[in-house]
């Protein structure tokens, strides 16, 4: 189907985009790579009268580290994550993820900000990373920062108001001695995940603050590997710090099924076995 007629606008600056959004109100939509919006328009699911193409906003195309945060501009192409030395060296979980989004043609054109906006980001970009991050939103009133957990109040819904756009994704730099991995199983390239798993691991003398931060998100399986005595002390500490009982249920301490595991590989298998068991109980 051919979409209904629309005005095509090509602003060259962020302030121009915000001005146009304000001027045209709910009749306007921003266009990034167009992979999702154009098909939606062809199906009449979206009928904007004004399309504001933001692909010219080169200022929003950057990956940098500042103030302990990885800052990814909203117009950074998904493929740029793969090529970024910063991501390659410091954020392996993000690198794994970027390689699994869609196919190279889509990744070359679709910016990270649009992925987040369409709420497809949680489909591929794994929870251990983004829920600990935040997004920068820009509108007529200036900029505001929203924790990524609060950015999606519901499925296919964001807290963006009319006249606002997402301008940056900010992810805290992982602590030293940590690493992560993401695996998506798909039948063919570009398919949705048949199954996916993500893990972010930190080797930290002082695990309590990290676990406390993670338990304040919606992550449903948080693993602590240590002795039963350490696990008891940890739970007491977290209770005293006010982590509600419901969230403490997400903490598996010590993590893993009791397989008498000793080596790191065996422990990993016991943790995976526990996840499989929990998954089976849910379905």
Ligand X SMILES: Cc1cc2nc3c(=O)[nH]c(=O)nc-3n(C[C@H](O)[C@H](O)[C@H](O)COP(=O)(O)OP(=O)(O)OC[C@H]3O[C@@H](n4cnc5c(N)ncnc54)[C@H](O)[C@@H]3O)c2cc1C
Return residues touching ligand X (CB under 6 A).
29-37, 74, 78, 101-102, 106, 110-111, 113-115, 117-118, 120-121, 123-124, 160, 165-166, 190
**In the complex with ligand X, which residue's Cβ is closer, 54 or 243?**
54
CA dist 61 → 36, 56, 81 (Å): 20, 9, 11
Task: Kindly compute the dihedral angle of the four CA atoms of residues 247, 248, 254, 259, in this order, to the nearest 10 degrees.
Answer: -60
Among residues 125, 197, 119, the alpha carbon closest in space to that of 160 is found at 119
Other CB atoms within 10 Å distance of the CB of residue 166: 24
Residues paired with 91 in a beta bridge: none
Instruction: Tell me the closest approach of the beta carbon of residue 131 to ligand X, in angstroms.
Output: 16
**In the complex with ligand X, which residue's Cβ is closer, 110 or 219?**
110
Lookup: tokens for 276: 């499989």
Residue number with the smallest Cβ distance to ligand X: 33
Instruction: Tell me the closest approach of the beta carbon of residue 134 to ligand X, in angstroms.
Output: 15
Q: Cα–Cα distance between 155 and 92 in angstroms, integer?
A: 27
Instruction: Tell me the closest approach of the beta carbon of residue 143 to ligand X, in angstroms.
Output: 13
**In the complex with ligand X, which residue's Cβ is closer, 36 or 202?**
36
Residue 92 near residue 179, CB atoms below 8 Å: yes
Among residues 3, 46, 1, the alpha carbon closest in space to that of 28 is found at 46
**In the complex with ligand X, which residue's Cβ is closer, 33 or 174?**
33
**In the complex with ligand X, which residue's Cβ is closer, 37 or 225?**
37
Instruction: Tell me the closest approach of the beta carbon of residue 124 to ligand X, in angstroms.
Output: 3
**In the complex with ligand X, which residue's Cβ is closer, 35 or 235?**
35
**In the complex with ligand X, which residue's Cβ is closer, 61 or 270?**
61
Q: Cα–Cα distance between 233 and 82 in angstroms, integer?
A: 41
Q: Cα–Cα distance between 243 and 228 in angstroms, integer?
A: 20
Instruction: Tell me the closest approach of the beta carbon of residue 213 to ligand X, in angstroms.
Output: 25
Instruction: Tell me the closest approach of the beta carbon of residue 34 to ligand X, in angstroms.
Output: 4
Q: Cα–Cα distance between 122 and 170 in angstroms, integer?
A: 15
Instruction: Tell me the closest approach of the beta carbon of residue 55 to ligand X, in angstroms.
Output: 8
Among residues 35, 29, 33, the alpha carbon closest in space to that of 50 is found at 29
Q: Cα–Cα distance between 165 and 59 in angstroms, integer?
A: 14
């Amino acid at each position: 189907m051919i979409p209904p007629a629309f005005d095509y606008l090509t602003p060259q600056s962020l302030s121009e985009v915000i001005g146009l959004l304000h001027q045209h109100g709910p009749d306007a939509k921003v266009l990034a790579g167009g992979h999702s919006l154009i098909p939606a328009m062809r199906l009449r699911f979206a009928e904007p009268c004004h399309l504001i193409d933001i692909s010219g906003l080169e200022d929003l195309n950057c990956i940098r580290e500042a103030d302990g945060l990885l800052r990814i501009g909203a117009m950074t192409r998904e493929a740029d994550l793969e090529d970024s030395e910063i991501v390659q060296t410091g954020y392996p979980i993000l690198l794994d993820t970027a390689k699994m989004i869609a196919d190279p043609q889509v990744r070359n054109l679709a910016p990270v900000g649009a992925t987040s906006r369409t709420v497809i980001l949680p489909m591929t970009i794994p929870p251990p990373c983004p829920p600990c991050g935040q997004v920068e939103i820009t509108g007529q009133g200036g900029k505001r920062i929203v924790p990524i957990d609060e950015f999606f109040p519901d499925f296919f819904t964001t807290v963006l108001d009319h006249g606002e756009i997402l301008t940056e994704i900010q992810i805290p730099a992982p602590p030293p001695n940590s690493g992560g991995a993401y695996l998506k199983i798909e039948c063919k390239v570009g398919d949705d995940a048949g199954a996916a798993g993500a893990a972010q691991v930190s080797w930290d003398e002082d695990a309590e603050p990290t676990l406390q931060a993670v338990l304040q998100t919606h992550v449903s399986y948080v693993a602590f590997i240590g002795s039963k005595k350490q696990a008891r002390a940890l739970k007491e500490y977290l209770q005293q710090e006010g982590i509600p009982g419901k969230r403490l249920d997400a903490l598996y301490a010590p993590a893993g099924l009791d397989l008498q595991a000793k080596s790191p590989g065996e422990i990993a298998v016991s943790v995976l076995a526990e996840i499989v068991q929990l998954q089976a109980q849910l379905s």
